[in-house]
Structure 1
């Protein structure tokens, strides 16, 4: 059963990329692929733009599926093979192929990457990417997009590929779901497609929530990271990808397999962290960032301002470097320089390692403009490396944005394409955290697929299309982040702040009370605050107040004798809430078993030195009957019962008033307690905020320290490599700076200059040299000024010969920072040349001594040397003889057929001949019969090196 039958009207599109050697791989693939698989195939190969392609005809022999060359707006159909035409770029949009003329020069195009990216965006999890034989790195970034969309990626096994460049690049980057030979891919592809189709059929059924939870628990235990609030569809696709890798059908079986194989958990963890990013992703958004957002953000900032930026979920660093490049361009264009603190974090430590290195494949030329490539990148054999000035602007660190505290006091927070993988609950917890991390007016930069949700009170939209939001701070913003439920905010330790007590300055209550009491006949009085706490006592208040049983207190209500507390509480509440005065309130008080009438008055006294209002309560005994009894009427008819009823009614009225006052006082106390609680909560939030800020600062310091430690380790490794290299090279080398001061030297250099370890940092002119003759320091200064290398041969006083070279010292950024002197021992070569010269002089002496004419010829029969007797007998000059072919000497008198036969045929075969007589007319001496003897001198390889040709008169020899 095939995928098209399982999911009618829904099919997968397979993008296949290849370059050199791809034709063979295509044929192997389609010979094994059924014609009714239900999938559509789109082939992208690097073709010659100037010649028609025969790929369509060739592949038609390997499959029964229709093989057609693509045309613009062609709808992709299942069970059909579509091939890119020459000199065209191709993309896919809503299932239709989009063809265009390439706008990049030949050799810089990445058509496979371009198509696979568009395929991932258009088809999502139905996209399939396959990389086959080819050179270069085209297709690697396209596979990353396929995996990010939830699709399947297959890569040809490098050993089976004619050219393994493209497959090896994809495998090395970690973007291969499976690595197979081309003819094994159809089976694996069909199995994966069936699994996707089965999942689509089973979606209405209950998902294996329990099994997935167990897998997530294994992940949390092994890695410390909780993925429970990531979108289940994303996690499910990643798990199914791993299941397909191990040919496991049941998720329960995979859960057991993962539990028994810890390495699988780590691999799944890396699968979950696959991110899709690129330089200047959504280019129009970065144009808006440069032209509108950043200028507005920096408009009112001073030149020494520290610009703080955080890129959360930076993956392999492309987005962070993109922002750094924009800032560098903006500062250069505006002639203003800011200090930039750009932090980039991600959960994947492997991705952070890549980001720190700043080395990217050549494919980035599709995303980075040529002028930016030239300005901010260095071309490397492996691709493009970000220049040092940009790399130093960014600090990379491993961080969990959900668990770890955020960076704070930020001007710009960029978090793009991270929240799309999270459940809405977690998104709603992250947005307040991002708001908390930003300064007032700071900018939040999201992807077009993300938004701030219902947190519209925290942000104001600056650009709705490209999702720029400005943080608007209010009192509720700090509470929002504490209520967000993020672990870093909740894990505060629960330590409550100490209560802040306000102590009133000492007030001269005695003088104040005396002044008030003099106006009121100076009864026994107390001064209290608005809560009834006694601040000062004047006169004898023993009949009215007494220490309350239990814990000691100075509250006038608790110390008052019954039933004064009810009356006092009502009067104090009335004064505190409305500023009212209570005068002459009479109350029957029981003292030592006797009922006495007491009158009290309460007066507020504002504007004290303490800055708070206080109350003066005065007590006074009343003579006569208690207020519960009134004088009887003169008429005898008034009964005692009526008087009693009136007293009870009066007492009930007082009780109701006291109860009402108590209720109002309790309500006020409750409101006051609630207000106090809110104040304490606000103080706690402020302390929590301060604590989190300190923690964030500490995290930033740790991050910077980790970055520095990584650089130190890298430099230490490079220093070790350099030391071993210099120690093992038998060439004396001295590194000098622009002032010709010694920076470093090898031990071989100490044989030329008398150097010791402490000489580093001294001018080379202070060091004595063993060289004779030329002044190398003057030559070094000339090379430093002209940048033209210089070399010469010099001899030491001990007789050792050196080849001295002086070269400019260039940094990786092509900056001249001094010169390099090298000394190569050439003593043996000089001795060999002297020996050769001696042998040559000896040979020439021997030749000149021979009485008979003698010629020395090379393998091409050119005259190398001639004896004096030859010049004398044949009356020729050396300048007309040496270096010329034998047959061209004079008027070609030696161009004798017999001599040609001897030299060109007989001599190579027999190595020598003797006594051959030739007769020839010579212009200078007439006709002569000459007897010739010749011998071939061969080298070690058997090739002719030299020929000795001796001659004498035939008559003389006879």
Structure 2
């Protein structure tokens, strides 16, 4: 559930592929006060330039009223503004606005409207769109959070940042309501806070750097790039203490390129120099490398397997006296750790306590750990958690509508900073969750971590990895429980392979510029000091030397019954984290009190659980004087001693009473007295050690002989290495050839796609099951096709063909008979196509489906129809030329198409003059509307109409005539003209 970093759980999915696949798309979310911010934003885009990106506005709109936001925006921007509709393809340099009462997603560059599921007031439309935008555009996605209340958008910006995109937020002081921008800022994913009017210029500058093509190969040598990246890694190690040199180079370089674009820095060398000068930028890059894309119950399939299979399995094998222990390596802000704890808590048959269930959650990001410890989350998590779980495990926060983890769940988790690659792991674990982490690390680090997980798990323990990860070559350490969900069980049969020591699984600690807790120097010890330590080991007391944070510098005595690690010198562990059940709280309190008042703090009769049994222990913490090393850290001596019966019966809280100090002083004095009494024994031990030195010299000679044999073996290994290197070079050559072939195939595929698209011929390819394999862009105008229809049966898709519904049957007939079929079909918008269906044959002459092509013949059909009409008119002219009645033909707009000699005799206009007239010119003005209505009715009916009316002559006379009008229809049944027969109306009988 996190993106990169060695101690982070990352989101599923591949690393972003870049903006090359398309132009950037900017998602802008706003709520209350967002209108003014929108206006300021778009007014700042220069009218004489195009931004080269698209904008999608997700505003919290009332579902009860139509939105006028598109009209408002059109007044303040020269860009086209459209309301989003389902299936609308996003175009560059265009603004899209979400409609009221709908959710919005983007898939394959196409907008999709969603019916809201959540209750009104709980709809997180901005989060939903931002998440889909991150998946669709990856590092070409931009998320902007403007004015608004609540926290919508906070989870979405994490998804965009995790995909490598850019995140901006409106500066709180420039907002009307700062709730949403502050919630986004609280995630740590915001790259810049700006006023809305300053954002377009920043976007333009960022896009010019972040989305520009890679420089030519010869522009920068690999040595220069490697050297600059080495300087970047060095600054990260120096100022954060963490080594990123084992991360995938493409991941780190992409994050570095983003930071360079933010600061408008041209070269990698210049950015490395900038890091040396700016500690703040080092921290910003560090946070970018630790992007946490996280949410509750992310990847439902993995959590289903965890809930149904893994958790019951672990609970079934848990011993009654032993807690179930889980470790979430890289917990980010805690969502995954809490999700796993919820699953386990819901399956327990007994009340959950730290003695029953323990979940350790670690991360190297201190800010993320602080958020996880607080256990408060925005209201938007309701989209990821069922209402039942929300009610059981969370309480609603007053005011901001957020949620807080209930104490019962919170007490089961321990959050701490921890570097998985460098710090010792937890031990005796039943479950480790480290999902989608290894894919971002190089092979060296991957091979260290899998054995480390094996080391940390109990026999039969479970390892959960991401869907793109595996255990690699370590099949002797783990077996698969569910390969698809990447669930593995620890094995105990090593197949005679040696296990690496824990120190070999961890990277060396990185140097820091100003270490917060520097380890104590370990001076060379004298024989006397060694002897004194040997004597102290015989005393019935355990002790630890720690700093105020509890980091252990020295352990003395048998601490196993109080602490988990074995005795010895160490600077890598923390006594508070290692304290056994029952000891941690009192130990932390005593250490705090001893540091606060610089006096000894004592707690008697502390109940400590060890191996299922409780023992009573007296605890004392005393500050050591700094006389021996004034410049060193303040250290504290922790004394642990089994309590006497009287001590156990009267437990006391931690305190700093004088008698407590006296008791400790007495014990220390007793220890010193024991040392003085043992001086003679020290001298004896000194003589024994002298003898041991002689024996060591003899052993050294034997080791010299062994070393020579090892050197010979090393020479043989060097020879084998050279052979392997030669094989590797051959494999590299083969790989390069394969890459060239893949490039050729890709180029040929591109050429074919462009050829099909360039011909303008709509083409659809289907398989034997009539499922769509692919199609050219023109086909979507005839059959409603989108990219998501690949694989769907052609019969399930809506067609724009008018009166033709035999496509499936005709295609099947061609597949059955292998005889092509050609038909003329028409679309609802009146365009004609020659449709041809023919079998699809491979080079091997195998039929693998059918090809359906549509060639536009609309112009040809129109020409054919026009010729038919002309012929009809000519035939009509021959018939009517010798008629005694005036015969005229008019089109639907009244223009004269035909005029016989009788009409010229009756009205005085010649044929040439009449063809330039409109029927309106021959009707008296007072009768024009009535006469035209009669002609219209004739054009709409297949019946003739005989009516008395009036007509004008060329010399201006009005004639009383009898008119018969007939509608002329084409082959398609549509009326295209009106023919009239006109004669002088006989006088009425007297």
Q: TM-score by structure 1 length? A: 0.50
| SS of equivalent residue, structure 2 residue 207 | helix
Other-structure match for 1:236? 253
Structure 1 Cα separation of the partners of residues 255 and 394 of structure 2: 34
Which of the residues 381, 394, 414 maps onto 1:364?
381
Distance 1:145 1:31, change over 3 A: same
Other-structure match for 2:577? 703
Q: Which moved more, 1:131-140 or 1:33-42?
A: 33-42
Contact 1:89 1:111 in 2 (8 A): yes
Q: CA deviation at 1:419?
A: 2.5
Q: CA deviation at 1:112?
A: 0.7
Structure 2 Cα separation of the partners of residues 81 and 318 of structure 1: 35
Distance 1:162 1:203, change over 3 A: farther
1:272-292 Cα shifts (integer Å, max 9, x gaps): 222111111112321221111
Structure 1 Cα separation of the partners of residues 90 and 105 of structure 2: 11
Q: CA deviation at 1:406?
A: 1.2
1:666-711 Cα shifts (integer Å, max 9, x gaps): xxxxxxxxxxxxxxxxxxxxxxxx9899999994754266985998
| SS of equivalent residue, structure 2 residue 255 | helix
Structure 2 Cα separation of the partners of residues 151 and 420 of structure 1: 20
Matched, 1:216 2:216: no
Matched, 1:341 2:358: yes
Other-structure match for 1:427? 446
Structure 2 Cα separation of the partners of residues 265 and 93 of structure 1: 35
Other-structure match for 1:471? 490
Matched, 1:396 2:270: no
1:312-349 Cα shifts (integer Å, max 9, x gaps): 01111111111111111111599999711211111111
RCO comparison, higher one (Cα < 8 Å, 6+): 2
Other-structure match for 2:455? 436
Structure 1 Cα separation of the partners of residues 496 and 179 of structure 2: 53
Other-structure match for 2:476? 457
Q: Which moved more, 1:472-481 or 1:142-151?
A: 472-481
1:776-813 Cα shifts (integer Å, max 9, x gaps): xxxxxxxxxxxxxxxxxxxxxxxxxxxxxxxxxxxxxx
Distance 1:306 1:203, change over 3 A: farther
1:813-861 Cα shifts (integer Å, max 9, x gaps): xxxxxxxxxxxxxxxxxxxxxxxxxxxxxxxxxxxxxxxxxxxxxxxxx
Q: CA deviation at 1:245?
A: 3.5
| SS of equivalent residue, structure 1 residue 479 | coil
Q: CA deviation at 1:134?
A: 0.9
Matched, 1:51 2:65: yes
Between Structure 1 and Structure 2, whose CA radius of gyration is higher?
1
Q: Which moved more, 1:256-265 or 1:482-491?
A: 482-491
Contact 2:79 2:93 in 1 (8 A): yes
Structure 2 Cα separation of the partners of residues 347 and 319 of structure 1: 16
Contact 1:113 1:139 in 2 (8 A): yes
Structure 2 Cα separation of the partners of residues 50 and 293 of structure 1: 47
1:464-512 Cα shifts (integer Å, max 9, x gaps): 2222111222235873544995336999x9xxxxxxxxxxxxxxxxxxx
Structure 2 Cα separation of the partners of residues 323 and 135 of structure 1: 31
| SS of equivalent residue, structure 1 residue 703 | helix
Matched, 1:412 2:431: yes
Matched, 1:196 2:210: yes
Which of the residues 115, 118, 126 maps onto 1:104?
118
1:109-161 Cα shifts (integer Å, max 9, x gaps): 21111111221122221111111111111111211111111111111111222
| SS of equivalent residue, structure 1 residue 234 | helix
Q: CA deviation at 1:171?
A: 2.0
Matched, 1:93 2:107: yes
| SS of equivalent residue, structure 1 residue 345 | strand
Matched, 1:14 2:37: no
Structure 1 Cα separation of the partners of residues 587 and 171 of structure 2: 34
| SS of equivalent residue, structure 1 residue 405 | coil
Matched, 1:287 2:304: yes
Contact 2:323 2:354 in 1 (8 A): no
Structure 2 Cα separation of the partners of residues 467 and 20 of structure 1: 44
| SS of equivalent residue, structure 2 residue 414 | strand
Distance 1:692 1:101, change over 3 A: farther
| SS of equivalent residue, structure 1 residue 217 | helix
Matched, 1:127 2:141: yes
Q: TM-score by structure 2 length? A: 0.49
| SS of equivalent residue, structure 1 residue 133 | coil
Contact 1:377 1:387 in 2 (8 A): yes
Q: Which moved more, 1:143-152 or 1:8-17?
A: 8-17
Distance 1:123 1:454, change over 3 A: farther
Contact 1:124 1:146 in 2 (8 A): yes
Other-structure match for 1:654? none
Structure 1's unaligned 5+ residue stretches are 1-5, 494-689, 720-760, 762-958
Which of the residues 320, 326, 336 maps onto 2:343?
326
Structure 2's unaligned 5+ residue stretches are 1-17, 511-521, 523-563, 597-652, 654-990
Other-structure match for 1:274? 291
Q: CA deviation at 1:8?
A: 7.1
1:422-459 Cα shifts (integer Å, max 9, x gaps): 22332232122112222222111122233223333322
Q: CA deviation at 1:354?
A: 1.4
Contact 1:111 1:138 in 2 (8 A): yes
Distance 1:477 1:257, change over 3 A: farther
Other-structure match for 2:464? 445
Contact 1:395 1:707 in 2 (8 A): no
Structure 2 Cα separation of the partners of residues 428 and 140 of structure 1: 36
Contact 2:359 2:413 in 1 (8 A): yes
Instruction: Report the RMSD for the aligned CA atoms in angstroms.
Output: 3.5
Other-structure match for 1:69? 83
Distance 1:427 1:58, change over 3 A: same
Structure 2 Cα separation of the partners of residues 206 and 82 of structure 1: 43
Contact 1:303 1:337 in 2 (8 A): no
Contact 2:341 2:409 in 1 (8 A): yes
Matched, 1:386 2:386: no
Q: Which moved more, 1:471-480 or 1:395-404?
A: 471-480
Structure 2 Cα separation of the partners of residues 11 and 373 of structure 1: 39
Written as runs of structure 1 = structure 2, the 5 A alignment for 1:310-709 is: 310-332=327-349, 339-381=356-398, 382=400, 383-475=402-494, 479-482=498-501, 485-487=504-506, 699=573, 701-703=575-577
Other-structure match for 1:26? 38
Count of residues in Structure 1 that have an aligned counterpart in Structure 2: 516
Which of the residues 156, 167, 185 maps onto 1:171?
185
